[in-house]
């Protein structure tokens, strides 16, 4: 683990998550008026040329309240399968769950990227979703398909070009003492920097 990154992360958390996260709330409210990180990657990720879905539990708000801080990251979902070039809208809505695709028995290959608003840090995971009967399962994916590998590398290259550092599992899962998030009174670094609701597949509590 890079000690410099670890020190930077804990310095940020200790400064911004103390005093009922007052300072962090102020920063977040300023960010929401000019979401430059969101806008930057919205443009950059178009270059990957795959179907991508932006997801944030916070960026659609006008202002964070004292009662509910929200997450301080954006989450991007990339759909890597070569035979997926658009989102199905035949039912009158965008099927971001890819229900019809999964019903064919094919595995949906995805890449999810969490990007912090204030630190040039991100977390990335590839995973697959498979539907058998009525049940869907997801699991961590090691990409072997050359087309999908190329798209994944394109995402990594964008993050590197923009000066972002990847957070490792070792750092992401460290418990942070004496702070809390909206949904976790015993949070990890991941909870603080990215989300305490939208987790990587293998982080989920069983």
Q: What is the DSSP string of the chain?
A: --HHHHHHHHHHHHHHSSGGGHHHHHHHHHHHHS-HHHHHHHHHGGGG-SEEEEE-SSTT-S---SS----SEEEEEEE--TT--S---TTSS--TT-HHHHHTTPPEEEEEEEEESSSSEEEEEEEEEEEETTEEEEEE-----HHHHHHHHHHHHHHHHTTPEEPPHHHHT-B-TT---SS-SS-BHHHHHT-SSS--GGGS--
Q: Kindly state the average pLDDT of the residues 106-111.
A: 96
Give residue-wise pLDDT tens across range 58-90.
Answer: 544 444 544 456 789 999 999 999 999 988 888
More confident: 64 or 163:
163
34-60 pLDDT, tens per residue?
A: 999 999 999 999 999 999 998 775 544
Q: State the average pLDDT over residues 183-188.
A: 88
């Amino acid at each position: 683990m890079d000690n410099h990154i670890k020190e930077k992360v804990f310095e940020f958390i200790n400064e911004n998550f103390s005093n009922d996260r007052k300072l962090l709330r102020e920063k977040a409210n300023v960010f929401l008026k000019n979401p430059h990180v969101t806008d930057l990657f919205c443009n950059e990720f178009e270059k990957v040329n795959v179907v991508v879905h932006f997801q944030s539990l916070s960026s659609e708000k006008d202002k964070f309240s004292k009662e509910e801080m929200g997450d301080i990251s954006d989450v991007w979902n990339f759909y890597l399968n070569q035979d997926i070039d658009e989102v199905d809208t035949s039912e009158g809505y965008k099927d971001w769950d890819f229900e019809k695709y999964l019903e064919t028995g094919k595995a949906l290959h995805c890449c999810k990227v969490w990007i912090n608003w204030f630190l040039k840090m991100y977390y990335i995971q590839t995973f697959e979703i498979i539907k058998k009967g009525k049940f869907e399962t997801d699991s961590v994916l090691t990409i072997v398909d050359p087309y999908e590998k190329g798209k994944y590398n394109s995402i990594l290259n964008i993050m590197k070009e923009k000066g972002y550092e990847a957070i490792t599992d070792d750092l992401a899962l460290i418990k942070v003492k004496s702070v809390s998030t909206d949904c976790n009174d015993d949070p990890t670094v991941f909870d603080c920097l990215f989300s305490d609701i939208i987790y990587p597949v293998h982080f989920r509590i069983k």
